[in-house]
Structure 1
């Protein structure tokens, strides 16, 4: 039977399941928490994943495993780690795991050599070889900015070895804000672009070098570090060869923080912690590669995702981190999940047979409780939620702070599930609203690496089960093409766009 037909049969079987309430599921199975939870060990610490407050059942999981078999999940997973083509539209492998030491042997060796080159440069900067360096302005966009911004914000709050400012927006206000925070005499510029042609990044980079020049910095081009898969273009742009940190073409932008794109992370937190982040991710790689379907944590997360998006019609998925250090995590996941799986055709180019990626959004607890949780508790939308928290606090204040934080996190999951009936409709909570809890023993570099890699593989597993390609992103190109036509001139657009261009003086 062709894969598409086998997948269709599996989906039909999944569609026959009843939808018991969460309360009924807990009442029927006293071991539900244990059966619907899994733990990832990270040496002395670990992460608990609890899906018991979702509507997954043993029967549903069994049918989702049948779907995985019909989708040739084992073979696609093998191809991923073997460095074979998993991005058919661009005829590419996706070898981000090789950067963490898990993958095709030759790719792992090449990645290790490139990371060693980065380690030596980071060490030289920390030792003062490039002079007094106190600041780094990291210029990139998309995956070249979101990953570094997340990790730097999460891991360098206690002590940043170098003050890092990540700038992605072409809006000059963003770059000016970084200039105001930095001393040009002690600032390096990192230019992160896979192709070294991205217009927003290269425009910002040129302005940053001009800022150095205008402020009397000698040899401003010598203060530029290029992070790219196209080193020839970086040399042509004027970057010294000794300050170019390449990465492989087989590493996609939104999967690239493990490569030289992670240079600002290592510069801010030090190589030891950057290595710990890589090893945390590698732990998830090995688990995802080796664990059977029944115990595979990213695959289990994909089962829950698809249950809600495909079988319950949920159009969004929310992520709330009850940890200030993960404030940028929802932003990071938006690109990872929506750029990867926001597709309408299969890997074979046929229309998909249902919704693909839900809209990912979220925020930080407890702030979000006073903003969006009204809709989550009493609105008409059913929104599956991931709560992320750490048992160990990230601050040294009165323990009451962290105790209240965790109490609120756990209370929200309990309240969404239980609800509360009232004779007053305005004060009635329907309940039966799903959530997953991801609970770290402690939040450190290894835990962050594991969380990111978990979501990478969760995204891949979702794509395999839907039969789509998560590694291309042609949808981002059309707007860029039209912007170039506007800049070039001579094109006519719709009446609305023509009026806007005229009002802005762009026609």
Structure 2
């Protein structure tokens, strides 16, 4: 494998003088050669510096890491999460119920189907008004209390699918900062609000702290009837029972579903409540179609693989340590935050599966905002800054607001213009002409031209889809899940654990007594100094 990395680096050095614009000049078929599609989802990676030789080397690299067999291992239930000795089968949550998925000799699909049907029954009763409040009213609002994977996924998806939300209004509380739960609850009526507590173990400190605050809020209005306004997403039936939540309102999931991959099952309950059974099934179907594509498509035509290989090229070969996710879709405003967790918690690793230190850079820094807002914020850096940031644009052919089609046309124009501008830049000669038109002459013209020029040759990919529907959202999320897996396999790391998250949790628990007045002279000087200022007479 080392030889393949060397070949890629050598090819990059040999072709670094060739611009992306040059590549288009050399081939009229570049767009067709460097794009791929699946069930209406189009990935265009032609505006990158990849050529056929580089792509061939990258595909060889993926094969050298046995990516095809690793894909099969994941879908077949092998314990590929080696450090936790677990299978990785979130894909089973959206699989065809009639196709067995065998784990440890047992088909898990009947249990998956039974849980989904229970969720659909509960959500349907809530939406229809058959399941009523303690005071025999209809529930108008649902508050989901979770954090990380129990919050980012459903919060992102409910916003993304707003045109399909025709059930109770959904709200999300995650931050342990009391301002979050306070700001959400103060706008709601406890007599018509259902609280869903989402924590697999029912021990997550942020979630359980917020849950206790919400329960107290319900009890103040409803007294002993407060548990009638509670449901849970958890596998800890003993702990949910202590909250008075009956088993029929508790929806659990197995340890082969990681938190950041859990939207497809019980963690997606708020989304199911918001959009209803048929739309939720379409959402699962979109993800399932991407699963099938990932499993069966040739690597050279496989969207998650190609997107992963583009990521490897930019991160490891070109040396670009970040990627910007730029959805030109306001309803995908939370997608960059969702992908931050999916990507950075999965692939932010420095140790291989063999326990040795990685030899390449792993997970890049993922960030972004919706367009066109970002254009008036950080795009200056993308175009003229000293850092090259690969951009990932997302755009729909159609919006939902037919009466505002002219605005969607402008949105598309902006999206395509930004990727074009990143690639082409503006030459110094063109900048001189603009400066001259503005009245600058001589040395002043040269200075102004320097400000007006920018280098171009900055890479981007574009993900296009017909419309942001439940099906297409399912495709997009599954695409990025499998992209993360592809990159992790090539780096030889475990994309499904998150030990780096645990240390801060442990230290927070040990620090709480100090915040509340205790002492520990063994703490570092900075921590002791900050405690004294924050809890002492004042800053």
Q: TM-score, normalised by structure 1?
A: 0.95
2:227 and 2:243 in contact (8 A); partners too: no
CA distance in structure 1 between the aligned counterparts of 2:479 and 2:178, rounded to whole angstroms: 35
Equivalent in the alignment of 2:264 = 258
Q: CA RMSD in A?
A: 1.5
Equivalent in the alignment of 1:115 = 116
Residues 230, 348 of structure 1: CA spacing in aligned structure 2 closer, same or farther, 3 A cutoff?
Answer: farther
**Match of residue 481, structure 1, among 498, 501, 506:** 506
- The alignment status of 1:339 with 2:337, answered yes or no, reads no
Residues 237, 217 of structure 1: CA spacing in aligned structure 2 closer, same or farther, 3 A cutoff?
Answer: closer
Greater mean alpha carbon deviation, residues 281-290 or residues 56-65: 56-65
1:185 and 1:217 in contact (8 A); partners too: no
**Match of residue 16, structure 1, among 10, 22, 27:** 10
- The alignment status of 1:502 with 2:499, answered yes or no, reads no
- Alpha-carbon deviation of 1:69? 1.6
- Alpha-carbon deviation of 1:54? 1.0
Which secondary structure state, in structure 2, belongs to the residue aligned with residue 86 of structure 1? coil
1:147 and 1:254 in contact (8 A); partners too: yes
1:338-417 to 2 correspondences below 5 Å: 338-417=344-423
Residues 271, 431 of structure 1: CA spacing in aligned structure 2 closer, same or farther, 3 A cutoff?
Answer: same
2:351 and 2:357 in contact (8 A); partners too: yes
**Match of residue 311, structure 2, among 276, 293, 305:** 305
Greater mean alpha carbon deviation, residues 188-197 or residues 97-106: 97-106
CA distance in structure 1 between the aligned counterparts of 2:529 and 2:472, rounded to whole angstroms: 50
CA distance in structure 2 between the aligned counterparts of 1:168 and 1:227, rounded to whole angstroms: 14
1:104-503 to 2 correspondences below 5 Å: 104-105=101-102, 106-131=107-132, 132-157=138-163, 159-216=165-222, 218-422=224-428, 423=432, 424-489=449-514, 490-491=519-520, 492-503=522-533
- Alpha-carbon deviation of 1:233? 2.8
Greater mean alpha carbon deviation, residues 402-411 or residues 237-246: 237-246
Which secondary structure state, in structure 2, belongs to the residue aligned with residue 439 of structure 1? strand
What is the aligned residue count?
497
Greater mean alpha carbon deviation, residues 480-489 or residues 181-190: 480-489
1:101 and 1:112 in contact (8 A); partners too: no
- Alpha-carbon deviation of 1:180? 2.0
CA distance in structure 2 between the aligned counterparts of 1:134 and 1:161, rounded to whole angstroms: 8
Q: TM-score, normalised by structure 2?
A: 0.90
Which secondary structure state, in structure 2, belongs to the residue aligned with residue 59 of structure 1? helix
CA distance in structure 2 between the aligned counterparts of 1:160 and 1:506, rounded to whole angstroms: 50
1:137 and 1:165 in contact (8 A); partners too: yes
- Alpha-carbon deviation of 1:241? 1.1
Instruction: Identify unmatched segments of 5+ residues in structure 2.
Output: 133-137, 433-448
Equivalent in the alignment of 1:3 = none
CA distance in structure 1 between the aligned counterparts of 2:69 and 2:242, rounded to whole angstroms: 42
CA displacement 1:395-448 (0-9 Å, x = unmatched):
243322111111000000001001111241111010000000111111100011
Equivalent in the alignment of 2:89 = 95
Which secondary structure state, in structure 1, belongs to the residue aligned with residue 403 of structure 2? coil
CA displacement 1:306-341 (0-9 Å, x = unmatched):
111001111110011111110110010000000000
CA displacement 1:450-500 (0-9 Å, x = unmatched):
100000000000000110000000101111111111124454311111111
CA displacement 1:324-380 (0-9 Å, x = unmatched):
110110010000000000001111111000110110000011110010010000001
- Alpha-carbon deviation of 1:217? 5.1
CA displacement 1:217-257 (0-9 Å, x = unmatched):
55111211110233333224432111101111110000001
Residues 23, 394 of structure 1: CA spacing in aligned structure 2 closer, same or farther, 3 A cutoff?
Answer: same
Which secondary structure state, in structure 2, belongs to the residue aligned with residue 52 of structure 1? coil
2:181 and 2:210 in contact (8 A); partners too: yes
2:164 and 2:275 in contact (8 A); partners too: no
CA distance in structure 1 between the aligned counterparts of 2:223 and 2:416, rounded to whole angstroms: 53
CA distance in structure 2 between the aligned counterparts of 1:112 and 1:479, rounded to whole angstroms: 37
Equivalent in the alignment of 1:78 = 72
Which secondary structure state, in structure 1, belongs to the residue aligned with residue 455 of structure 2? coil
Equivalent in the alignment of 1:4 = none
Instruction: Identify unmatched segments of 5+ residues in structure 1.
Output: 1-6
2:163 and 2:400 in contact (8 A); partners too: no
Greater mean alpha carbon deviation, residues 258-267 or residues 93-102: 93-102
Which secondary structure state, in structure 2, belongs to the residue aligned with residue 196 of structure 1? coil
CA displacement 1:179-235 (0-9 Å, x = unmatched):
122111110000011211100000101110100111235511121111023333322
CA distance in structure 1 between the aligned counterparts of 2:536 and 2:474, rounded to whole angstroms: 44
1:39 and 1:47 in contact (8 A); partners too: yes
1:343 and 1:356 in contact (8 A); partners too: yes
